[in-house]
Amino acid sequence: MKISGFQKLTLLDYPGRIACIIFTQGCNYKCSYCQNSLLIPHENEELVAEEEVLAYLNQRKSILDGIVISGGEPTIQIGLVDFIKKVKSLGLLVKLDTNGSNPKLLKQLLEEKLVDYVAMDIKYLLEEYSVVTKCRVNRNNLLESMNILKNSGIEYEFRTTIIKNVHTMDIILKLCKYFDNKQPFYLQNFEQSEYVPDKTLESFTRDELKEIEKIIKKEYPNVVIRGL
């Protein structure tokens, strides 16, 4: 596996758990709002060795609940399954962050009980996904991943990063329709930064987020705006 970043402690990325987080190198999308664009080139000489991460986990397994595997896109990594098996052999939980493009691997990970929590991005209306991803996307794969998670029986979340000049109220309401209102659907505000490829993108103000919340909560009580 190509691991570009390793943060030894996070209290934010795995809900209710103490974890570390790794960021894998490379992604099959080119999102205009990506905060991890430095990870998108597939080659990077400064990789973190798997052994370093596993040794740390072994040392800290009595303190940590688990690990978050984020990216880039972890499911394009050769060796992901073997790496997770090594983590699970230490008795730790695994959370996977994914763009949902690889339902086959997602299914395998679930069938082999190798993941305990999955966060999947739903970036935009499925029929117009490339507005955000800036590349062609297989819509059927996304739908399949969503269905796999809905029937998985594990903890999972769907989440959308909302961008002021991209996600209109109408689009946000249409996104909410993808969900059955049984599990939370998280909306998170976009943040501009030096790493974001498209510098024209804007965040919503707090007041705008509150207004969005007021409108969607009437119909979709399980939608949560993170950070409000």
Q: Which is nearer to ligand SF4, 72 or 103 (CB)?
A: 72
Rounded distance, CA 89 to CA 96, Å?
Answer: 17
Rounded distance, CA 41 to CA 182, Å?
Answer: 37
Binding to ligand SF4 by residue 145, rule CB under 6 A? Answer: no
Site string for ligand SF4, 27-46 (x = CB under 6 A): x-xxx--x-x---x------
Tell the residue number behind the tokens 């993170």, with chain if given. Answer: 226
Handedness of CA 47, 51, 53, 56 (dihedral sign): negative
Q: How near is the Cβ of 73 to ligand SF4 at its closest, in Å?
A: 5
Binding to ligand SF4 by residue 72, rule CB under 6 A? Answer: yes
Q: How near is the Cβ of 127 to ligand SF4 at its closest, in Å?
A: 18
Helix (H) or strand (E) holding 50: helix 50-60
Q: Which is nearer to ligand SF4, 135 or 169 (CB)?
A: 135
Q: Return the range that interacts with ligand SF4 (CB under 6 A); candidates 4-12, 45-53, 65-73, 182-190.
A: 65-73
Q: Return the range that interacts with ligand SF4 (CB under 6 A); candidates 42-50, 70-78, 173-181, 182-190.
A: 70-78
Rounded distance, CA 33 to CA 108, Å?
Answer: 29
Please state, as a whole number, how many other Cβ atoms lie within 10 Å of the Cβ of residue 181.
13
Maximal CA-CA distance, the chain: 50
Helix (H) or strand (E) holding 226: none
Binding to ligand SF4 by residue 122, rule CB under 6 A? Answer: no
Residue 212: both structure tokens together: 């969005």
Q: Which is nearer to ligand SF4, 57 or 102 (CB)?
A: 102
Binding to ligand SF4 by residue 25, rule CB under 6 A? Answer: no
Residue 174: both structure tokens together: 């249409």
Q: How near is the Cβ of 19 to ligand SF4 at its closest, in Å?
A: 19
Contact positions vs ligand SF4 (CB under 6 A) = 27, 29-31, 34, 36, 40, 71-73, 99
